[in-house]
Amino acid sequence: MVKNIYIAGPLFNVHEKKYLEEIAAALEGAGYDCFLPHRDQTGIDPDELKDNNMSQSTKDIIFKTDIDALDNADLVIALVSGQDIDSGTASEIGYMYANKKPIIAITAWERRYRNLFTEGMFTKTIQTIKEVLPAVEQMNS
């Protein structure tokens, strides 16, 4: 039964973050618990996230928090838009696949070929946020 969902995707600009937050809002509105890496980190000085000079302790906290969230997740929803699948997102997909957990990929209607190895790990591919909730509920049936 799916209850905890990890939402993966690129975090390079406000638009990507907002899209991921919209995915989380749709799921949380239906009672699912979601983890968004850029929203749900704890124990970090926010000023350290503003530049590329993070301390090793901050990097360690982020890694541990993300791994714990992946371990606790029943499913990952991965935004796979962009020139290529984001390396962090691909890592999260691979980790979940290796742990035999389902992956729903959302393409946001991009028309391009994806990395076929990574795409082979997807349980389901959808195009829009409107399809997210039905896809997750299908996993519960």
Chain segment 78-104, per-residue pLDDT in tens: 999 877 888 999 999 999 999 999 999
Number of Cβ atoms within 10 Å of the Cβ of 34: 21
Count of CB atoms situated within 10 Å of the CB of 130: 9
pLDDT in tens, 48-59: 777 677 888 888
Question: pLDDT confidence of 112, banded at 50, 70, 90?
Answer: low
Higher pLDDT among residues 2 and 49, named by residue: 2
Structure tokens at 90: 């691909």
3-class secondary structure, 34: strand
